[in-house]
Structure 1
């Protein structure tokens, strides 16, 4: 089977679900944010501070477009959907799974947005960012899983049941 690529808002549980899903499927686990940090030698918020949101997205797009992994669950950064090359590559090498959660639930899970490496434009609210991203997540998703009020185990079971055979 191809890779399994998790997309969704920061705080949706991509990394947490990804680790459990990888164990269940017998896959490797790759966190693309960690790959970005390894390749740049910088934390995500440091890249944003030094290069701005657009610079960060260029780095994120380039590194995700070059991911060469097999038999892996890939947890992506929430802004990966802005990178056309990255998303074309990811769709080619795997099944894209959107972990959907309401903006209210996302807000409740997130602390300091900047420390999480979240790219917000000047004056942009989390709700505005959410409204901007959701159509992109939906466009790229092969499978959408509503994660509202579900445990990690329930989410992983739903993903496993919906994977192409």
Structure 2
């Protein structure tokens, strides 16, 4: 069954983002998004930042206070809002688990920024603002997250880059080359 977004704006005609970035926590979506938006001379919209702006607290705290189901509903509404921009859109790592978000991404240009378990844990370890990653064994938890979400990243992505194998400038160059090929 597909989840619907009540009262969420559909992306308006002519305002399709240049590119949407998806990927697991710590993959570099924010870093790559900032560099890509500068290179394309367009704004960067981060769905997590929209949630934080609305609620006035860090995204991880919103997740903890609402619980995952309500957080994912709020996140889907903010993704729909972000997709109304013409620029680079960066989504939270788990946004793709929501069927309605995947539907919204169906007609977008989506880049999956991937990462290995080892590098993902290195980049996110000790980060209390990511409650979804809190576990006794961070490697096992990160591996589990990747396994749960990989099919969704693969489903929505038009292009995939692995962020622990290249510096950000190289990743941005790869993404720009991909966008130019469209």
Instruction: Place the TM-score, normalised by the shorter chain, in its bin.
Output: 0.7 to 0.9
Q: In structure 1, what is the equivalent of residue 157 of structure 2? A: 141
Q: Distance in 1 between matches of 2:38 and 2:162?
A: 21
Contact 1:28-1:72 at 8 Å conserved across structures: yes
Runs of 4+ in 1 over 4 A off after TM superposition: 119-124
- Per-residue CA shift, 1:62-97, capped at 9, x if unaligned? 2212335332101110001012222322333x3110
- Residue 152 of structure 1 pairs with residue 152 of structure 2: no
Cα-Cα RMSD: 2.3
TM-score, normalisation: structure 1: 0.87
**Any unmatched runs of 5+ in structure 2?**
1-15
Question: How many residue pairs align between the two structures?
Answer: 164
Q: In structure 2, what is the equivalent of residue 43 of structure 1? A: 58
TM-score, normalisation: structure 2: 0.80
Identify the structure with the greater strand proportion.
1
Q: In structure 1, what is the equivalent of residue 32 of structure 2? A: 17
Q: In structure 2, what is the equivalent of residue 26 of structure 1? A: 41
